Structure 1
Amino acid sequence: MELSKVSVRNGLKPRPEPYWQKLGSGRALGYRQGKTGGSWVARHYDSAQSRKLQSKLGDFGQLPATDRYAAALEAARRWFERLDKGGMARDITVQVACEQYAATRPDAAKRFNRYVYNHSFAKIPLSKLTDHHVATWRNQLERTPALISRSKKGEPVTRARSPATINRDIAPVRAALNRAFRGRAVLEDHAWKFAL
């Protein structure tokens, strides 16, 4: 099926199973037509393990309808490339990488709860993480005052965060991202290699 034409996609009947367009051996781009719009999905057949892998690509609703096919095709190609290089089929977020790392490290879990999980940085998929995202998070952490007094009486006492405190707070984040990189959840570490 040719999914590049808007008129073809608009004429599809809504159904849970995507309409597929073959891209190559074991690769396809799918379009799932819903009642109020459609979304894109990629499919890869792993012949070594005799299994089909799928990745939801999104609806690309922010783009004009004429540009959505090209955007979906590019997203599918990036996913296929990641699989070809031995990467994981499912993209994980910074938060998931931190949660996996913190599963056996309670001290790291406390720092993640304070400085990572409540930040928009945590919701970014690792494959879309840039050095700008990481630097923005680090700059915000550097500006966050360090709490000196935890007394329940009176105002909390804070001071400017020292370089040593900043390093202690970012070290577990760096370790969590490096662990995800070694586990092939992401194929490049340039986003945090220098920013952290």
Structure 2
Amino acid sequence: MRFMDSVMDLSRIGDRGKLKPRAGDEPHWQRLRVGCYVGFRPSRKGGKGTWFARAYDADKFKYVRKPLGDYGALDGNDVFTQAKKDAEGWADQVESGGVRAEKVETVTDACKAYLKDRPGSIAEGVFRRHVYDDPIGKVRIDKLRRHHLREWRKRLESAPALVTRNKGGKTLTKPRSQSTANRDMVPLRAALGRLLTPGAPNTDAAWQEALKPAKGADRRRELYLDRAERKGLLAAVEAEAAPFVRGLCLLPLRPGTLAGLIVGDFDKRTRALTIGKDKNGKPRQITLPSNIADFLTKQSKDKLPNAPIFTRRGGGAWNKDTWKGPIKDAVGKADLPAAVSAYTLRHCVLTDLVTAGLPVLTVAQISGTSVAMIEKHYGHLVGDAAAEALAGLVL
């Protein structure tokens, strides 16, 4: 680092405007404190330029840096003030060991860095199918603009959605719905949001605008099976899949989460079930009633701690390609609506919990979703219960 960097004052708008791009696109740095710098790279095309943070990582014995964006939504002295604040905040994280800094240059790099911090099969699948081999993956983070992501979104929305893949058989697909596209955009939006600040609205720098979810796409689930219909489904399902389907009827878990449970996740002495992997990435623990605990104890009998609680013939775990067939067949035998799926059963469990009067916060916690989502999809049930309670106050 040059000596001039340590005395440079990037807060002066006029002086900053006179800076020339450096060889190798190296930013101009201003020292904020020992081991902490804020940097500015002038645009070669007359744009606003890009800001950077630089901090000393004692664990790696070297400086690391992070792009902060161009702060397109800000003007005047507010630009430097925000860049300084962001650089100091990031340096604090690096110095405390809270950031595993690494070289992130492209969108692909950003996605892989995101997975290291927040591993998850859903995000990994989206990146593998729609980012790594797509032109968007090669775009540099500091060059990323709204038009890049708009074109990517068009490709995503036109790509068929996988229905099922049978070994040795035909791969079945369907047109991608807006709700599916909304869900597929979430991991990329999260990965980019860790590195970039929102650009100025209604400009090409506003990368975030291209990833806004389509409104009205995520509709409330309406299909509900009462207890008698669920019993009919259990009676019709084949013996191999019966324990797994019964588990869907007893626990407010996503099908993939239920399939991923291992024997070591369940403590029969305390009746505690630990869910370590789920869509939200946060582990949680549920204390089970004795009847459900007895059911899991039976499923776990004579299995090793790392074995799935719910197994197929041969000891393998269930997945979306293996549970769809048995459930579909049982739905037909029980004369239930053709749209019934594994997720329908989770919806039924959540509906019963809400209508039973369990607080929305508790339902959200044990089901691994947000209060906002529970209120969005099940809030009308709380309203119905409140109306009935008010009716009971009539004198």
**TM-score under structure 1 length normalisation:** 0.58
1:106 aligns with 2:106: no
Q: Deviations over 1:57-95 (max 9, x none)?
A: 7xxxxxxxxxxx9828x6895447779413569864322
2:43 and 2:6 map into 1 onto residues whose CA distance is 16
**Aligned pairs, number:** 153
Q: Which of 69, 94, 102 is the equivalent residue of 2:107?
A: 94
Tell me: CA distance 1:77–1:156, structure 2 relative to 1, closer, same or farther (3 Å).
closer
Q: Deviations over 1:147-193 (max 9, x none)?
A: 22211223322111112211221111122222x1xxxx323252123
Q: Which of 196, 210, 216 is the equivalent residue of 1:186?
A: 196
Unaligned ranges ≥5, structure 1: 1-16, 33-38, 58-68
Q: Which of 206, 211, 217 is the equivalent residue of 1:195?
A: 211
Contact 1:29 1:42 in 2 (8 A): no
The aligned counterpart of 1:41 is 26
1:105 and 1:158 map into 2 onto residues whose CA distance is 27
Partner AA of 2:109 in structure 1: V
SS state at 1:148 partner: strand
The aligned counterpart of 2:44 is 71
Tell me: CA distance 1:173–1:41, structure 2 relative to 1, closer, same or farther (3 Å).
closer
Tell me: CA distance 1:130–1:75, structure 2 relative to 1, closer, same or farther (3 Å).
closer
Percent identity of paired positions between Structure 1 and Structure 2: 25
Q: Quote the offset at 1:26 in angstroms.
A: 2.2
Contact 1:91 1:127 in 2 (8 A): no
Q: Equivalences for 1:155-194 in 2 at 5 Å?
A: 155-178=170-193, 180=194, 185-189=195-199, 190-194=206-210
Contact 1:29 1:76 in 2 (8 A): no
Q: Which of 26, 34, 37 is the equivalent residue of 2:8?
A: 26
1:188 and 1:94 map into 2 onto residues whose CA distance is 16
The aligned counterpart of 2:269 is none
Instruction: Identify the range of structure 1 (86-95 vs 137-146) with the bigger mean alpha-carbon deviation.
Output: 86-95
Q: Quote the offset at 1:135 in angstroms.
A: 1.0
Partner AA of 2:208 in structure 1: W
Bigger Rg, structure 1 or 2: 2
2:43 and 2:120 map into 1 onto residues whose CA distance is 44
1:156 and 1:187 map into 2 onto residues whose CA distance is 40
Tell me: CA distance 1:24–1:49, structure 2 relative to 1, closer, same or farther (3 Å).
closer
Tell me: CA distance 1:172–1:91, structure 2 relative to 1, closer, same or farther (3 Å).
closer
Q: Quote the offset at 1:124 in angstroms.
A: 2.1
1:50 and 1:76 map into 2 onto residues whose CA distance is 26
- Which structure has greater strand proportion? 1
Q: Which of 122, 125, 130 is the equivalent residue of 2:137?
A: 122
**TM-score under structure 2 length normalisation:** 0.32
Partner AA of 2:135 in structure 1: S
1:24 and 1:49 map into 2 onto residues whose CA distance is 10
SS state at 2:197 partner: coil
Contact 1:29 1:40 in 2 (8 A): no
2:168 and 2:43 map into 1 onto residues whose CA distance is 60
SS state at 2:153 partner: helix
SS state at 1:157 partner: strand
1:153 aligns with 2:168: yes
The aligned counterpart of 1:3 is none
2:183 and 2:38 map into 1 onto residues whose CA distance is 39
1:139 aligns with 2:154: yes
1:30 and 1:170 map into 2 onto residues whose CA distance is 34
Q: Quote the offset at 1:140 in angstroms.
A: 0.1
Q: Deviations over 1:123-150 (max 9, x none)?
A: 2233322111111111101111112221
2:154 and 2:43 map into 1 onto residues whose CA distance is 35
Tell me: CA distance 1:194–1:152, structure 2 relative to 1, closer, same or farther (3 Å).
same
Instruction: Identify the range of structure 1 (78-87 vs 151-160) with the bigger mean alpha-carbon deviation.
Output: 78-87
* Cα RMSD for the two superposed structures: 3.9
